[in-house]
Structure 1
Amino acid sequence: MANRIRFKKEVLEALPAPENGRSTYYDDQVQKLAVRVTSAGTKTFYVITRDGESVAWLKLGTFPDMTVEIARKESQKHLGDFARGASPVQARRVEKQRLTLGQSYERYRELYAKPRGLKTADDTFMIWQRCLGVMPDEPAKKHGRKRQKHPAGVDWSNRKLDEITPGEVRTLHAEIGTHTPVQANRVVEIIGTIYARAAEWGYTGINPAKDIRPFKEQKRDRFIQADELPAFFKALADDTSEDFKHFVLLCLLTGARRVNVLSAQWQEINLASAVWRIPDTKNGEPVVVALVPEALEILQSRDPQKSGFVFPTESKTGYLSPPAKRWQALLARAGMADFRIHDLRRSLGSWQAITGASLVVIGKSLGHKSADATMIYARLSMDPVRASVNTATAAMLEAAGVKKTAQVKRIADV
């Protein structure tokens, strides 16, 4: 056979690289052991033999990382497998087709999570990085802390799906739960969903997250109380940032989620009709928000444009980031404990209930998605929603001492 030589270290080192393409040389001791030389000078060992009706090229390793002696031993072992009818090439092909948790997560994220709402995909991605995958070494954002791996987090991104056991998932759930029980539940939900989607795409193994009992979660019911409103509004008035004041007030007066308020764009807002159409929400459907007079006044003071963000800034997103430090300073001045930005949204709904609004109207106001109330939502006009939001916001502003009956005090002057 052409190009058959005695494989030795010095002989292989002297093999020339072809000007283009590849050259193949065969060992004169192990008949089916070959080395292939590329135009870049890379030299790779292969076993070349018949595998059924085709010729198989089984890659062994690269010279000189793999020595001639090791290449001969490996080739003889694989040739023995071929002789017994066990194809190492087929075994490698099957192994390559076994998906890792990381590959399955990426497929789930692109084909399932993103089409159902970018917010959901982003939230899941944060938990994936912190608890299950690789946490990138990124600098801290302005006014924020550097993101770090969860103390009990793991990197299972390169683990094969069928290698992860129920016991491992149960242990991970318990260890994360000692720090953050709610997040531990979300981690198990993500793992379970990844495996469920993988099963739809051909995975036939077990789902290791199945039957793991979640930690009990206490539904949060915190909202701003009547006796807290005066101090809260005074503390807000003392802040030096108009952007922050407007952000907090719009969260309270519209009941919109903070990310929707911060990312609001002028083309979504119709000041003449007093409505704000949020195109991308957590539930994956657009929501129309009724703008009360006080919210309109704030928006008009921000110099409305035909396009662009309501809260623009020079950043990667183009709009303001959640003001975590200012929020904590505001709570300290107001003397309020255990109150989150999201509780402003709950406060509007709670005050609507206090002032007599129905659950259907509250759901419509806040853009809640409910299978039982969907048809009723579809028949509701904006009139009862607007009346309910007006009543609730007026009650809050009166309790805060910034609005009297039949008299509106400019929020900007607070």
Structure 2
Amino acid sequence: MPRINFTKKAIDSLPIPPDGRRATYTDNKVQGLELRVTSKGTKTFSCQRWIKATGRPERVTLGRYPGMTIEQARKHALQVSSAIADGNNPAEVQRQLRGEPTFEDLFADYMKRHSIPRKRTWREDQRNYDRHLAPTLGRRKLSSLARKDFAQVHSAISKTAPAHANKVLALCSVVFSWAIGAGVWDGQNPAASIKKNQVRSRDRFLQHHELPRFFQSLAAEPSDTARDFFLACLLTGARRANVLAMRWDQLDLGEGVWRIPDTKNGEPQLVTLASQLVSVLEGRWQSASSPWVFPGSGKTGHYQEPRKGWERILARAQALGIVKALATAEAWEDSLVNEAAELALTRPHHVQQRYTVEIERHGLDPESFALANLRIHDLRRTLGSWQARHGASLAIIGKSLNHKSVQSTAIYARLDIDPVRDSVTRAVDNLLAAGGLSELGEVVPFDRSRS
């Protein structure tokens, strides 16, 4: 039986035996570890050890290569050797190996006992597992998972989403930390101490020159639920999850106040409602048939996934930017401006097709007119930014947005709702004015002079 150093290069280059034959190779690093190669090219790790009680050797199958790595096979072979040395039956050792929980088992236990009962963001945990962890790590035995496995997952996600990669890595570490604390795992935390990506704090918000296009695109949104939802996100600065779950019994429209009973930082929040938003909510209340301000058809009963509506708004805003640039460059007549603007608001994806020649002639880049990288969460940041622009203190902004920090929490707690209301009202008035609106729902003529 040939002895070789089990390396990826060595195993991948092993010859395929003739039909009906099988070749067996022994690792020269871990005693008893073998690799059997069939005539069909199947390569299987096993551990063969001499059993004193029977006076004959026994073989325990470990797993197939490359699904089981060399490092994993060596680790399992040492476990088998140790168990047999302690007098355990090889068949029992095999059953223990097969019965060891997988990462999928551990994560399900974590969700059931910790995440769902205690975390408002448990659905995000499940989505991150399903998308990034289940395909590669879900079926792996816990003892086979090493630090490099989680480092590879982190590295793969980092190529396109560095900040999100950090979140997924943190989730993995939390799962193992919980398991160790709960006594369901007595090993190490393989996701700990992996270097995270350096990510700059995001400071994107709607700029002055972007507001007219944004408000025109928002007003043209055919779904009143999506339109009013995004408006509420912008004018309250509240977190998306809280706006989605807004209930009528949390609102006092007469006083212009929304009381959120449970927020991300674990404390209730009193949100001041600008008069413009109160008018919109009063309109929704007149036809309300659900306890939710933004009802939906899903299990929760409220609106859940606003992403498609958001994409429609951004597409219209980009199309308006293209039309405006062409109108300025070619001095279009008002009739053509109005026609093109209507097309941008109703069929935005056709704008680029219709004006392809003009766009190329002027050397315009359609992507330069997109509201680049604008996310739904940036609407929350927009209100705070406009408050700061118009003189609000950091304490007032923190109270408005329900920020929580060691340094400023005591200050926030002493603030009254009135200065917060004044600050939000001033910010909303100026924000709407910059967008060419004085009252919500007003149709604003297309102004080519605005950038």
**263, 266, 285: which one aligns with 2:267:** 285
Unaligned runs of 5+ in 2: 1-82, 319-370, 444-451
Instruction: Report whether the alignment pairs 1:236 with 2:218.
Output: yes
1: distance between equivalents of 2:222 and 2:87?
A: 78
CA distance in 1, matches of 2:411, 2:106: 39
Kept after mapping to 2: 8 A contact 1:101/1:157: yes
Q: How much has 1:90 moved relative to structure 2?
A: 7.8
Q: CA deviation at 1:329?
A: 2.7
1:96 is displaced (CA, Å) by 8.2
Distance 1:291 1:98, change over 3 A: same
The letter for the 1-side match of 2:419 is: P
- Paired residues for 1:70-219 under 5 Å: 85-86=87-88, 98-118=100-120, 120-133=121-134, 154-202=135-183, 203-219=185-201
C-alpha change, 1:399 and 1:95, in structure 2 (3 Å) is same
What is the identity, as a one-letter code, of the residue corresponding to 1:309?
W
User: Retained in 1: the 8 A contact 2:221–2:312?
Assistant: no
1:250 Cα deviation after fit: 1.0
Contact kept, 8 Å, 2:296 with 2:304, in 1: the verdict is: no
1:254-403 equivalence runs, <5 A: 254-303=236-285, 308-335=291-318, 336-403=371-438
Per-residue CA deviation, residues 164-222 of structure 1 (Å, 9 max, x unaligned), is: 01122222222232233223222211111111111212333221112211122232111
**Percent identity, aligned pairs only?**
42
**Larger displacement relative to structure 2 (267-276 or 234-243):** 234-243
CA deviation string 1:237-273 (max 9, x = no partner) = 2333332321221111111222322221111111122
C-alpha change, 1:358 and 1:210, in structure 2 (3 Å) is: same
Cα distance change on mapping 1:329 and 1:286 into 2, 3 Å: same
DSSP 3-state at the match of 1:227:
helix
Structure 1 stretches of 5 or more lacking a match? 1-80, 134-153, 404-408
Q: Provide the rounded CA distance (Å) in 2 between the counterparts of 1:306 and 1:271.
A: 17
Residues 1:83 and 1:254: Cα distance change in structure 2 (over 3 Å): closer
How large is the Cα RMSD of the aligned pairs?
Answer: 2.7
Q: CA deviation at 1:350?
A: 0.6
- Offset at residue 281 of structure 1 (A): 2.8
CA contact (8 A) 2:234 2:382 kept: yes
**Residue 91 (structure 1) shift:** 5.6
Aligned to 1:412: 441
Q: Distance in 1 between matches of 2:428 and 2:255?
A: 18
Q: 1:376 to 1:98 in 2, by over 3 A?
A: farther
Q: Count how many residue pairs are aligned between Structure 1 and Structure 2.
A: 307
Choose the corresponding residue for 2:235, options 253, 259, 263: 253
